[in-house]
Structure 1
Amino acid sequence: MKRIFAVCLLFFFAAGAAYASPVEEKIVEAIKSFVETRYPDFSRSEMRVEIKLNDKDSASLDLDDPSAVCKVLAVFSDFKPVGNVIFPVEVKTVSGASKIFVRAKVEVLKKIVVAAKKIPRNKDLKADDLRFEVRDVAMLPRKYLTEMDNMLGKETKIPVPAGSTVFEWMIGDPAVIRTGSEVSIVVLASDIGIRADGVALENGYLGEQIKVRKKDSPKILFGKVLSEKEVEVELK
């Protein structure tokens, strides 16, 4: 019997804690509207807003007024209305208008791509390297990924820890030249072009600079990757 009473009491307090007055609900909606205006992309995601009014405001406002009108007031231009933040809010009820400061936690939930396990640098990505997970993206840089198919076959540019959000800058097209590969070095000097057999000293990507050397020389040269077999070295 005591156990049943305790469970009922717990349920009662939990239900009470979850209750939001009409004014609090309108403040939440005003904050959501403000955030979506600032960040239109967030309107397509689930937004979760938790607010806390201080005791003074709770006592002075008519929280049960269903006709209340709430709006977030103007803030400075670089104000970021996400994460843990304080909003200036105007509340108009039958008792009059009040300006209050509302503590809020704003989360934007979205299904994004994360690393399913530790992924080393220069690894060709496969399906079991990645997974989807719903996360709060409100404070993340906008370069997180929401699609997985177009990532498969790409290559990691840096090591990616297990569970990390995968961002665009972490992946790229696979190297066309691998360390140790035999390449043809095209040496440009004035208007003359000379070819020589060489070796790549690091992975190379189209259009990027890599280190190479001629087979008959230990001297390191820097050249631009033209194809999977050619590197152009310009002597000045």
Structure 2
Amino acid sequence: MTNSLTDSDAHELLSSGFIFGLRSGRTVIGWGEFKKSQTPEGACSVYAPDFYLEDPKPWLIPPKFAVVDREFFATHVLPKLTTEVKDFRWIEPAREAFTCQFEKIRKAFETEGLEKAVPVVHATSQVRVTQSEIGRILGAMSRLPQTLTAYGFWNVSASSERPEGLLGATPEYLFSVDGWELKTMALAGTRSKTESREGGSALLADPKERKEHQLVIDDISRVLSKFG
């Protein structure tokens, strides 16, 4: 583990890296050419499976990593990442794509006993994600409120045949441990931007949202029950 980044480290971070926020407010960052593995290895490993959990080697092992606080990330890392960026031109998904997903899910509810599903459609952009865009996204993530935790990985190096990555932020956390007490937090529910301004009372009053959240609670309880 290192406590500082050289200019060379910063360049590698833009090409291939990961970011993972901790409950303590600190952030784990890793960079360099990842090794892929079936199982975690060494002092730092990142679980980055594909959407369908079919990748036989879902663990990424970075050659370098550091645990830094938000101030360090903003003042010592991001200044090294300042580069020119291009605008993305997004193409929103067609309504028909969502309708198709919805109909498949509806049939699964009726015939397969499905309890919960999320229809997925994608906006697209015909732009190769470069180091510049990664730097811009990391800059935005460094300014997130304390209630949100950053996460993600990326590989956009020039030698990569298939650039890929995932970056985001969430109020959820996998777990925190205090002595013998383990806590986790997950959210479920759907609200438009307008509805979200109504606050939590609207969610609590909605039977559909309450049921959806209860499904998440039940699943977490089932998974954790084997630990006592």
TM-score category, normalised to shorter length? under 0.3
Larger RCO (alpha carbons 8 Å, 6+ apart): 2
Give the structure with the larger strand fraction. 1
Calculate the TM-score normalised by the size of structure 1: 0.22
Higher Rg: 1
Give the structure with the larger helix fraction. 2
Calculate the TM-score normalised by the size of structure 2: 0.23
